[in-house]
Structure 1
Amino acid sequence: MAVNLRLAPPDAVGDLPIDHFDGLDTFEDLPSKGLCVRDLWF
């Protein structure tokens, strides 16, 4: 499922963590880099 966070106010989504996973083979979580939405957008 995907959610378009760009429609939400920046202060409401800025602290959400970025979570990556291997969606090709194993669907396992990948190591976290400690990033949040604010680090990528603002």
Structure 2
Amino acid sequence: MQALVKDIRAWIASWNEDPKPFVWAKTAEEILDALFSYCRRITASGH
């Protein structure tokens, strides 16, 4: 657990030195369409 906390803190420190803004690559409609398609596939999978 301590190793995980150490790694997370190191990642945060590194990220804060050179942060990059999050940029949406798709429109909300494209994301929702993909989500709907995925939900339809897993619902019809018979599991």
TM-score, normalised on structure 1? 0.25
- Relative contact order (C-alpha < 8 Å, sep 6+): which is higher? 1
Q: Which protein is bigger by CA-based radius of gyration?
A: 2
